[in-house]
Structure 1
């Protein structure tokens, strides 16, 4: 068992929740929520602990407990078990947990939710299931618990033990207006009120808020917007809502398909963007991270990297391979004296990350350059993605390169994300 030595801000977080058996550590990305949550879990000292996380984080949590808390029986829960051993830490992902109804029989256990914002949708199967669990203790971990939308806190405050109805919560803290959608009058959040009161109330229920800049002096973050020329296909699609490109007919007969194809025409179907990406990669031999959305984008970016003979790592729904990113040295051929030597080299890897799979949780501070081939619609994923490199251990300024097609939907998406709002909300309100 490795000895865990917490940083001062981590010790402060745990001390602030000493008298709470239900608490939330809303610590900015990179401040070490994993260790804070684990030490709190250890202090609560229940026979069984259940950790629910994203699928991409299952192995990380397993290795974390095996390395630092080997006194526990650490189990990745995939298939139902006949019995759970004493002193166990059970790890399961959000997409599977609601398919394991036997977990509802657990009692007197500690529940820890990694990225607790994953239960923001009160109508989803995962959220409804988690709220049915009967834990003795609760630990919530998130760097972005609301993604800027306080209405999405409701499931989490229920777990913290705040007994307030959803109606009262909205009336107290949300500013809404009614919209007619398909004959139904639906309340839409247009602002917030009593925010300071809300934060005070959350602290009364064991929530700790901590931003990176309040704790650590990290290097600067530098944005670089690179304008990309549009294409005649994009302009034709905007005008006619239909175009044929690369033997694919794109028909934007609905608002959502129109938006989808505009995004694809501005990225994967825009040869000007792939040319600029190639030029950018040729301009540096540093490790580079590239965020993308669509599978066809991945294939085109991979092709560019292969042509440039750049080593590739990939993180998406099917693959999590960071081996090239992690490399520090390579074996060089025999030198003039006939011996084999390890020579440190510059890691030229390019790591391709799909937002949903890798914008949260990865530690990529060995790199300080991120290229955004295309943008997400989610403000939370966008903000989280930037923190993959801007975190503890980063010694260099972080550079972000946004490839934005001129006169396209990408300009609007970038503007809305800059306001820390989801672009889908902007579309819905429109």
Structure 2
């Protein structure tokens, strides 16, 4: 009701639903209602690249009205051709174009989207435009100014700072927080540090939250769903003998390089931590090397035990997330040796091929394992055919980790969800897991306290 009222006034609205609570379904229902009322004929959906191919499937499953969805993929000419084809569609139906954020501001594409004059624009995972100065954020603002109806969809509109809201609401409804970022920042942030350029605190957050929810509706899992419980397990792997010596050597060398490295920055610290995490995953790569060298079998051995228990013996489906491509290759080889049919998504898999891969895992009883890089497939897909997920490795970002948890714990899941973290004892793995438990983004905390990680 509230969403319909705001939309009828030509203003934007936000569905701030936690992951798995059905914000895509609700957005499709909103589009359908507006279309049936004659309020809209065209919709532009901007989404993360990995989510674009999901939207047509969601329409197929949920839409109870006539529609034509085109995902704008490929090079510029292919994207423009797809948009022209959609515009020329001869039958009465809601016309929906889906494109990734990174393409919206490109020369030729941005102008074409403006010329198309979509009646409604939906910003999926709207936290992607939290930086007001970024080109894709500015493009979204301009597109939003030209559209009559707007929606933002996000379970995590604020990832790290309260000021993340500004750019999203600048797109959604400029009357809420205004059109001047610095005025917004000065209103709600306490500045300090060198030349008072750093945010050291916030003020009047009650008013900020009140304004945020004046054009948005928040749904949490506790409020909306009777989802089964989640169980988190940690399976420890011990470093011994030569493996332990090699890990400690990498750790000492990294520490020494940082000690002698002059100015310490997050990228330099994270690069050293990356080397340690790559080792716990099983491989190292020399600076002059072309291919990674597999040196540590602890984690892959532990994973193979889980495969034996959960997949081969119990016949259950399993999701495996990891961070690095060499880990994908290592696990793939293990699955092939065990003759386990699996689906896999990583950076090199084309966007248009990912939807069928997910569908195969969800519907094919013979496909037992879904193997993916967390940054590529941790967002926007449904993997409820499994109720158990193994984290072979994680990245440093809490938001990405939190999103990935909801791939199996969402609408459609009927079983208790179990998450198994493979952790090498007394290693960077433990540090990362503790940071994630504190809901920290490790990349933002390492500069001041980098010594505790080595």
TM range (shorter): 0.7 to 0.9
Under a length normalisation based on structure 2, what TM-score does the superposition of the two structures give? Answer: 0.78
Aligned to 2:286: none
Residue of structure 2 aligned with 1:295, choices 325, 328, 346: 325
**Which segment drifts farther, 278-287 or 156-165?**
156-165
**1:160-239 alignment runs, 5 A limit:** 160-161=172-173, 162-164=176-178, 165-179=180-194, 187-204=197-214, 206-230=215-239, 231-239=244-252
Mapped contact 1:324–1:349 kept (Cα < 8 A): no
Gaps of 5+ in 1: 1-11, 180-184, 244-251, 330-346
Aligned-partner Cα distance in 2 for 1:371–1:105: 46
CA shift at 1:72, angstroms? 2.9
Residues 119/354 of structure 1: CA separation in 2 closer, same or farther (3 Å cut) = same
SS at match of 1:241: helix
Report which of the two has the higher share of helix.
2
Deviations 1:124-178 (A, max 9, x none): 3221211221211110111122225322222111122224332233233334542
Q: Structure 1: which 4+ aligned runs deviate by more than 4 Å?
A: 12-20
Q: Following the alignment from structure 2 to structure 1, what is the Cα–Cα distance between the partners of residues 28 and 255? A: 53
Greater CA drift, 266-275 or 286-295: 266-275
Relative distance call for 1:392 and 1:264 in structure 2 (3 A) is same
Q: Equivalents in 2 of 1:202, 1:117: separation in Å?
A: 14
What's the CA shift for 1:23?
0.3
Partners of 1:302 and 1:389 in 2: how far apart?
Answer: 21
Unpaired runs of 5+ residues, structure 2, are 74-78, 257-265, 284-295, 450-454
Residue in 1 that maps onto 2:278: 264
Q: Specify the SS of the correspondent of 1:276.
A: helix
The alignment status of 1:240 with 2:259, answered yes or no, reads no
Change (3 A) 1:354 1:167: same
Instruction: Tell me the residue number matched to 1:113.
Output: 123
Query: Do 1:174 and 1:189's aligned partners in 2 also have CA atoms closer than 8 Å?
Result: yes
Q: Which of 21, 27, 31 is equivalent to 2:21?
A: 31
**Aligned pairs, number:** 388
Q: CA deviation at 1:66?
A: 5.1
Partner of 2:262: none
What is the correspondence of 1:267-286 to structure 2 with a 5 Å cutoff?
A: 267-269=281-283, 270-285=296-311, 286=316
Note if 1:42 corresponds to 2:32: yes
SS at match of 1:227: strand
Moved more, 262-271 or 80-89: 80-89
- Normalised to the residue count of structure 1, the TM-score between the two structures is 0.82
C-alpha separation in 2, matches of 1:325 and 1:97:
31
Structure in which a larger fraction of residues adopt strand = 1
Q: 2:104 aligns with which of 80, 90, 97?
A: 97
Identify which range, 347-356 or 151-160, moves more after superposition: 347-356
Give the drift of 1:13: 6.8
Offset at 1:367? 0.9
Residue 75 of structure 1 pairs with residue 70 of structure 2? yes
What displacement does 1:324 show? 4.9
Q: Are 2:58 and 1:64 aligned? A: yes
SS at 1:322 equivalent: helix
Q: 1:136 to 1:348 in 2, by over 3 A?
A: closer
Between 66-75 and 406-415, the greater mean CA deviation after superposition: 66-75
| Structure 1 match to 2:336 | 306
**Coordinate RMSD, CA, aligned:** 2.6
CA-to-partner distance for each residue in 1:92-121, whole Å, 9 max, x for gaps? Answer: 111222221222334462110111111123
| 1:70 shift after superposition | 5.4
Contact 2:166 2:177 in 1 (8 A): no
> Is the CA contact 2:41–2:119 (under 8 Å) kept in the aligned structure 1?
yes
- Cα distance in 2 for partners of 1:253, 1:365 equals 36
Compute the displacement of 1:401 (Å). Answer: 0.8
Aligned to 1:343: none
- Say if 1:13 and 1:392 are closer, same or farther in 2 by CA, change over 3 A: farther
CA distance in 2, matches of 1:90, 1:42: 15
Asked if the contact 1:116/1:142 (under 8 Å) is kept, the reply is yes
